[in-house]
Amino acid sequence: MRKVLVLEDEANIRSFVVINLQRAGYEAIEAASGEEALEQLRCNPDIQVALLDIMLPDMDGFEVCRRIRASGSKIGIIMLTARTQEMDKVTGLMTGADDYVTKPFSPAELTARIDALCRRTGASIPAEDPAEIRQPPFMLNTRNRTLEKNGVRVKLTQVEYAIIKLFMDNAGKALSREEILDAVWGRDYFGELKIVDVNIRRLRVKIEDDAQNPTYITTVWGYGYKWGF
Ligand code: CA
């Protein structure tokens, strides 16, 4: 499993990042101070990427970055910056870091950056697990179970995500309501077909340009629905 160091002194931000990294299939190593981060890097030479907060109790994140590079380490380094930090100053100080992410960031954005960095630093993502399904204007990230429309995150429930994934895997094909129910809720689900329509209606409000005149999820009268445009 790919290891990522998370250096962040604010416990709630740190656990938010850690939980999302774990969900995305990474092993997260935590540190709350610069010294702790450097110690963890010594103990875990297989860490591939380090996320470094800048404002820390003992030293700033740039100093941690400088010390990591001074040790000859070639791991990927992403700085976690606050919106209030002046970006020209940050980028000026970024010597040695590979990328930066501005807080508040979405889990999808962060894992996309880490994935990109892992690719650049030579670590590969298993080919049999495509993390992204791109059907413009939509992009589904199957690692984080998130959907973006024109680059903007669409908040989905787990059921809505499962429906969208089913549609994208079957683009252009009419799916009966029974098929959707079986695939998303499971064959032994004891509910009514109406639950499919309820969820589709809600999904349309979230993803269609005009939910009254849907163009992405179209109705196949007397049968079900089709994803195709
Ligand atoms: Ca901080």
pLDDT digits (tens, 9 = 90+) for 91-112: 666 677 888 888 888 888 899 8
| pLDDT number for residue 122 | 55
For 194, half-sphere exposure in the C-beta direction (CA atoms, 13 angstrom radius) is 2
Top pLDDT among 222 and 144 is at 222
The answer to whether 134 touches 147, Cβ cutoff 8 Å, is no
User: In angstroms, what is the span from residue 35 Cα to ligand 1's centroid?
Assistant: 14
138 CA distance to ligand 1 middle (Å) = 34
Say whether pTM exceeds 0.75.
no
Q: Which of 108, 93, 95 is nearest to 139 (CA)?
A: 108
Pairing, β 152-154 against β 146-149: antiparallel
Distance CA 65, CA 83 (A): 20
For residue 88, what pLDDT is reported? 63
Q: Would you place residue 121 in the very low, low, confident or very high pLDDT band (cuts 50, 70, 90)?
A: low
Ligand 1 centroid distance, CA of 55 (Å): 4
Q: Say how many Å lie between the CA of residue 167 and the centre of ligand 1.
A: 41
